[in-house]
Amino acid sequence: MKKKELLYLFFVILLMGLFLSCGQDENGAMEEVKEETQEALDTASQWTQGQAQKIYQDLQAAVEDINEDLNDLKADPPKQEDVRSEWDKSIEQINKSIDQVKEQLSQLKDKSGEEWEKIKADIDKSLKQIQQEIQDLKDEKH
């Protein structure tokens, strides 16, 4: 995710705590810094989880849109038998790709950090490829 931004936020809050604690007794200052640091970490964690959830929902919506496009395409197959055979194979491959993306989406829920980023990048790549394959099938019909 935005690790640099989170680290930056963490250090800014930590420094604010240190500056605010100047002139206080050492134990009180340290306790205040700990509390402020924990609050910063909690806020950053909540923000990160919120962002991850939004991205997950956006990816789910993209899969739903692709399914709608695919259903529209399947509703009007080519009439020529030789073209229809290849078209059916392409539709089957697209369905397999969509199933793989759905599996990756289910894995995404349980991951974080670099693993999360890698799976998300793979999903993005797969979705673009599926969208292109659907567009190619639409173009072949015309």
> What's the domain range around 36?
3-141
> Tell me, what's the pLDDT at 103?
94
For residue 63, which of 141, 130, 9 has the smallest C-alpha distance?
A: 130
Question: pTM for the whole thing?
Answer: 0.67
Q: What is the count of structural domains for the chain?
A: 1
Tokens linked to 36 = 């402020």
Distance between CA atoms of residues 123 and 134, nearest Å: 16
Q: How confident is the model over 4-53, as pLDDT tens digits? A: 666 666 666 766 666 665 555 556 666 776 777 676 666 655 656 677 78
